[in-house]
Amino acid sequence: MKSTELIDLARKARKKAYAPYSHYKVGAALLGKSGTVYTGCNVENASYGHTVCAERTAVLKAVSEGETEFEAIAVVTKNGGSPCGACRQVLSEFAPTLTIYIADKNGEYRTTTLKKLLPDSFTPAHLEEGNKEKGNK
Ligand code: THU
């Protein structure tokens, strides 16, 4: 799938954003290895801390549908905002080599990777080593 197609799906998902507090709408479109696209938007909450970002909405939708391997994600905001730290970490669990398209509402975008946005990350492999050390495995 072309980057511009994935960005367009993220732009449509952004229209569903529930952001009555920040008014900062975010849309995401996550391309699974199967070719299926999972979209997401940010869903805010009156108790602000329970807000869920667009990227994590998309990941949770995908994983809960049985897809756990991903090629790329497109994220659309009004001004080309970059995925937050929590979303980078959640994406890295499933797709450490993910391609990321970061777009603004006018369609301008840049291409980057999760490796660049989250270098030296904590990974599932670290837990396996920890378990071996304790004799848990
Ligand atoms: N937000 C996202 O959806 N994704 C990010 O990566 C950054 C922030 C949302 C959360 C909140 O609803 C709004 O943007 C302002 O922080």
Q: At what angle do helices 85-94 and 54-64 cross, to 10 degrees?
A: 20
pTM tops 0.85, yes or no: yes
Spacing, Cα 24 to ligand 1 middle (Å): 7
37 pocket-lining for ligand 1 (C-beta < 6 Å): no
Task: Indicate which atom in ligand 1 lies nearest the CA of residue 86.
Answer: 6
**Residue 13 one-letter amino acid:** A
**91-94 contact pairs (CB < 8 A, 24+):** 91/55, 91/59, 91/118, 92/118, 92/121, 92/123, 93/123, 93/124, 94/59, 94/63, 94/68, 94/69, 94/70
**Residue 27 one-letter amino acid:** G
Tens of each residue's pLDDT in the chain, 137 residues: 999 999 999 999 999 999 999 999 999 999 999 999 999 999 999 999 999 999 999 999 999 999 999 999 999 999 999 999 999 999 999 999 999 999 999 999 999 999 999 999 999 999 987 777 766 55
